[in-house]
């Protein structure tokens, strides 16, 4: 069991409240996943700037980042939030910065990279995780959260969701994949690196690979129906999009709601009850093996 929440805002007036609304939804899903929790938020696009969200289990880890700026030859701003830090830099320096971190500071792990995405995830109760990272104050156009009850790999920060394997992409998962080892090997042959033993990361990497090959997110999800074996309800995010896919058996629960102001996802209806106008929203259960996708 795991819990998923997601919010894709159509009404810009709600953007300052994204973090607060997602936190409320996430905490409601605590009993579906008390092991760990995580959230991906898509914030404001700042021309030419990109960001890396990095994590270090050593609290002094970020002190070492002083050398990054001179290594990539550009100014880097560092905002430390508990065990994570958001590094802002020119967008075209992101790849270089990742290479520098990989070589010089392997203990600092990249949670996400892109123009707008920030990912925060940790072991612990969803409410505690949200508090540590001050999630309620985050603004954004869309976001996805996950509460984890681990089945396929250990309860660790890196095993928590969301997983991000491509620029501004993220994926959360309720379920378990049965062909993730074979697929991980196959992706490696395609030059796609999967960092953990976690099954969900393989699904994220698979979608990233399909997108690199030229698929739209919708096409990538369609292809996933053939290539991903197991139980899954996925919610995925891209820079401007939000998608949902359930496997053909569809035993992992999902409820969606749509109004003029937002599209919302919850593993259970409980997660949606505090959203504005939910009483009059269109509420439905997404169909099995059907791709749902919204874009800004």
Partner 1 sequence: MQVLDLSEITLREANAALQNPTEGSNETAWEIVNARGSHAIAVGLDAPIDVQVRGSTGYYCAGMNAQATVRVDGNVGPGAGENMMSGALIVEGDASQYAGATGHGGLLVIKGNASSRCGISMKGIDIVVHGNVGHMSAFMAQKGHLVICGDAGDALGDSIYEAQLFVRGSVKSLGADCVEKEMRPEHLEKLAELLKAGECDAKPEEFKRYGSARELYNFNIDNAY
Active site residues: 2
268 counts as binding partner 1 under rule CB under 8 A = yes
Stated as kind and residue range, the H or E segment containing 170 is strand 170-177
Q: How far is the CB of 294 from partner 1 (least distance, A)?
A: 21
269 counts as binding partner 1 under rule CB under 8 A = yes
**Sequence-separated (6 or more) residues with CB below 8 Å from residue 195:** 109, 158, 201
Site for partner 1 in 134-163 (CB under 8 A): none
284 counts as binding partner 1 under rule CB under 8 A = yes
Helix (H, G, I), strand (E, B) or coil at 129: helix
Cβ closer to partner 1: 100 or 269? 269
Cβ closer to partner 1: 107 or 285? 285
251 counts as binding partner 1 under rule CB under 8 A = yes
Q: Is the sign of the CA dihedral 78, 84, 86, 92 positive or negative?
A: positive
Q: How far is the CB of 42 from partner 1 (least distance, A)?
A: 26
Q: Name which of 147, 91, 141 is nearest 122 in CA terms.
A: 147
Structure token digits, residue 38: 């995580």
285 counts as binding partner 1 under rule CB under 8 A = yes
Cβ closer to partner 1: 47 or 280? 280
Question: Which residues are registered as beta bridge partners of 177?
Answer: 230
Question: Which residues are registered as beta bridge partners of 9?
Answer: 262
Q: What's the Cα-to-Cα distance from 152 to each of 4, 8, 35, 105, 176, rounded to whole Å?
A: 17, 28, 13, 28, 7
Structure token digits, residue 118: 């920030």
24 counts as binding partner 1 under rule CB under 8 A = no
Q: How far is the CB of 271 from partner 1 (least distance, A)?
A: 8
Cβ closer to partner 1: 158 or 275? 275
Cβ closer to partner 1: 136 or 286? 286
Which residue from 2, 9, 41, 272 is in contact with partner 1, where contact means CB under 8 A? Answer: 272
Strands of the sheet containing 262-266, edge to edge, are 117-123, 36-42, 142-148, 2-9, 262-266, 255-258, 282-284
Q: How far is the CB of 266 from partner 1 (least distance, A)?
A: 9
Which residue from 283, 293, 294, 296 is in contact with partner 1, where contact means CB under 8 A? Answer: 283
């Amino acid at each position: 069991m795991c819990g998923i929440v997601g919010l894709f805002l159509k009404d810009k007036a709600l953007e300052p409240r994204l973090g607060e609304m997602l936190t409320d939804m996430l905490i409601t899903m605590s009993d579906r996943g008390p092991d760990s929790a995580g959230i991906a938020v898509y914030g404001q696009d700042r021309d030419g700037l990109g960001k890396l969200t990095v994590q270090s289990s050593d609290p002094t880890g970020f002190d070492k980042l002083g050398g990054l700026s001179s290594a990539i030859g550009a100014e880097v701003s560092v905002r430390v939030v508990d065990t994570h830090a958001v590094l802002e830099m020119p967008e075209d320096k992101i790849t270089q910065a990742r290479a520098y971190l990989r070589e010089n500071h392997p203990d600092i792990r990249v949670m996400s990279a892109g123009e707008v995405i920030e990912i925060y995830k940790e072991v612990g109760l969803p409410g505690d995780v949200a508090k540590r990272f001050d999630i309620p104050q985050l603004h954004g156009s869309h976001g996805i959260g996950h509460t984890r009850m681990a089945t396929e790999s250990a309860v660790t920060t890196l095993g928590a969701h969301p997983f991000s394997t491509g620029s501004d992409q993220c994926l959360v998962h309720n379920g378990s994949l049965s062909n993730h080892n074979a697929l991980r090997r196959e992706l490696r042959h395609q030059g796609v690196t999967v960092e953990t033993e976690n099954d969900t990361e393989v699904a994220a990497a698979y979608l990233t690979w399909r997108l690199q090959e030229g698929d739209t997110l919708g096409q990538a999800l369609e292809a996933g129906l053939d290539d991903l074996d197991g139980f899954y309800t996925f919610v995925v995010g891209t820079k401007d999009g939000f998608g949902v896919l359930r496997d053909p058996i569809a035993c992992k629960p999902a409820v969606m709601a749509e109004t003029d102001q937002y599209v919302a996802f919850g593993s259970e209806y409980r997660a949606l009850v505090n959203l504005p106008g939910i009483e009059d929203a269109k509420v439905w259960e997404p169909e099995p093996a059907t791709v749902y996708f919204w874009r800004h």
